[in-house]
Structure 1
Amino acid sequence: MNTHLLAALDIGGTKIAGALVDGIGRLLVRAQRPTPADRHGSVVMDAVRAVLGELAEDPRWARVSAVGIGSAGPVDASTGTVSPVNIPGWRDYPLVRHVREAVEGRPVVLVGDGVAMTAAEHWQGAARGRDNALCMVVSTGVGGGLVLDGRPYAGPTGNAGHIGHISVDLDGDPCPCGGRGCVERIASGPNIARRALEQGWRPRDGEEPTAQAVARAARDGDRVAAASFSRAARALAAGMAATAMLVEIEIAVVGGGVAGAGDVLFTPLRRALADYATLSFVRDLAVVPAMTGTDAGLLGAAAAAALGHSGGPAVTAGV
């Protein structure tokens, strides 16, 4: 029996979460700190060390064979550095080196958060048992990752599958990434709400103008709200179809806060996909909701560590 464990870090602009994870995906102990995103980079790293320190207090820490990090990006796994858009103090920050020092030289594997979510869904979620998949996070931004030939594929820098910055509208709005008409610029939560507001939708009294509020309005029959989700769905469908044409994925898994809209998103998404995925080898592309929820980052970081470090436990399907 393999008694090794994995330590996982999920680093975002709001929180830094950590866990000890076993070979069947059980999170045995957790730790969390708020991300001091507006502070100097060293302060953010102190929060990471605090999470690792809390995990290390558990007697099972001695069984940790490797550490996985899923971080908001961009990341560069080839250099071990991160430059998260929502953590200004980290620009080309040598995160892997600092974490390796904090964990006394254990191997450290870094991937982007979209790739981490993909690894989680392939290990424990909706893409389990699938050889070729696209997994997406549709939330404040739009990220993603790929499973190819039965393994999550991170690419040289850990960013492969970043579908949010595929251009689906050549004459569309400029995107903060420098491109134009990106999937994220149309389908992310803030952009769904922005579009609805521009077209005349207004939230109820006391309600914030979020994608969740737009989804509620769409369920209640608001046509402008429904149209904003339909437009987002078409952007997502176009990006999915383009990806499927390139690498012949068989399933697209969609998670994140916007996916919580349920049929308000998935019904127009599946309808639009039929308009874009028209060739015989992509026509049967399935679209399903993600299953790993808020634990996706931690599970995926652990899976990435296991796959990237031969001394780690072999990850197996959960029960």
Structure 2
Amino acid sequence: MTRIALAVDLGGTKIDAALVDGNGSVLPDGRNRRPTGRAITPDELRAAVAGVVSHALAHLPEGAEFAGAGIGSAGPIDQAAGAIHPVNMRGVHGFGLVEAVRDAVIASTGEFDPVVRLRHDGGCLALAESWIGAAAGTRASLSIVVSTGVGGGIVMDGRPVGGASGNSGHLGQVHIGELTVEEIAAGPPSVQWAQLQGWRGETGEDLARAARGGDRIARAAIERSARAVGQALADASTLLDLEVVAISGGFSNVADDYVDLVAAALADWADLPYARATRVVRSALGGDGPIIGAAALVLQG
């Protein structure tokens, strides 16, 4: 009998839901999303949860074994309480996301007590990469997203490392000097830095095009971002003895050699040989990583 999990991925702009099978394949028919946004209210989020969950579960294959629901959410989270405190959605701080998903699953399936598990989205990404992605077969990995923000998750011996509250892996809030990695390396601050240097573009896409065309300021902004990420990863690898780091996210595509720049910065910044030996690779799962990892919370749990 095929085991199928419901996966829910909550971010600052949308909530996704999909069905994922035991091989980590996303079933296309049930995948759907609803908008969220900074101003979303608890009632609006509860309605969005109910909508995406019911749509996905309406496509549960007949005869399949329903394994439960896994949730990846923008953080911080309160894993013990099943609640979220996302930085970019302050109106839903303390929202009981596990309870909302459980209620929606019960309403759709009639299950009395479905399994529902929560991690932050970076932790789900890391679990997916360790399961079937770029970190498969490794003992210690970190997977990160470099996009409008910077986040990540840690997996050791095939299991996600949550820490005391479930929030370990928030690489973007590590400091490089007086600024956080996110304040230096994410897409919007990289664009803003370039503009302060006299560059006239407006977006990360503009920055990528300008750098490809030989614009020195645009290229410097990209190198500055990669250097900050690499330095933070050097410290993380020194602390955790990482075997591999997988990088995804829209801004990581700003240059073909972005991942190589990060790897060079890590090797240059790390003091110890085992940290310098950490491999830095591009994600093998792209945008599907968080949703696959959310499903893995129950499929691999």
Are 2:203 and 1:189 aligned?
A: no
3-state SS in 2 of match to 1:79:
coil
Equivalent AA in structure 1 for residue 148 of structure 2: T
1:277-288 equivalences under 5 Å are 277-288=270-281
| Native 8 Å contact 1:122 1:152 kept in 2 | no
| Native 8 Å contact 1:69 1:110 kept in 2 | yes
Are 2:88 and 1:86 aligned?
A: yes
Equivalent in the alignment of 2:157: 149
Equivalent in the alignment of 1:166: 174
Distance 1:64 1:33 in 2: 23
Give unpaired runs (5+ residues) of structure 1: 173-180, 204-208, 309-319
How big is the shift at 1:88?
Answer: 2.8
| 123-132 or 257-266, which deviates more | 257-266
**May I ask how many residue pairs the two structures share in their alignment?**
292
Distance 1:215 1:270 in 2: 19
3-state SS in 2 of match to 1:291:
coil
Determine which of 108, 111, 124 is the counterpart of 2:116.
108
Equivalent AA in structure 2 for residue 68 of structure 1: G
Equivalent AA in structure 2 for residue 273 of structure 1: L
1:260-299 equivalences under 5 Å are 260-299=253-292
Equivalent in the alignment of 1:39: 40
After superposition, the Cα gap between the structure-2 partners of 1:127 and 1:13, relative to the gap in structure 1 and judged at 3 Å, is same
How big is the shift at 1:76?
Answer: 1.3
Distance 2:191 2:31 in 1: 34
After superposition, the Cα gap between the structure-2 partners of 1:59 and 1:107, relative to the gap in structure 1 and judged at 3 Å, is closer
Give unpaired runs (5+ residues) of structure 2: 107-112
Normalised by the length of structure 1, the TM-score is 0.87
3-state SS in 2 of match to 1:270:
helix
| Native 8 Å contact 1:218 1:264 kept in 2 | no
Equivalent in the alignment of 1:314: none
Distance 2:129 2:203 in 1: 26
Are 2:218 and 1:225 aligned?
A: yes
3-state SS in 2 of match to 1:9:
strand
Equivalent in the alignment of 2:109: none
Distance 1:136 1:21 in 2: 22
3-state SS in 2 of match to 1:70:
strand
Equivalent AA in structure 1 for residue 187 of structure 2: G
Equivalent in the alignment of 2:198: 200
Higher strand proportion:
2
How big is the shift at 1:36?
Answer: 5.4
Normalised by the length of structure 2, the TM-score is 0.92
Distance 2:174 2:23 in 1: 34
How big is the shift at 1:214?
Answer: 1.2
Equivalent in the alignment of 2:31: 30
| Native 8 Å contact 2:234 2:276 kept in 1 | no
How big is the shift at 1:143?
Answer: 0.2
How big is the shift at 1:299?
Answer: 0.2
Equivalent AA in structure 2 for residue 40 of structure 1: T
3-state SS in 1 of match to 2:273:
coil
Distance 2:46 2:268 in 1: 46
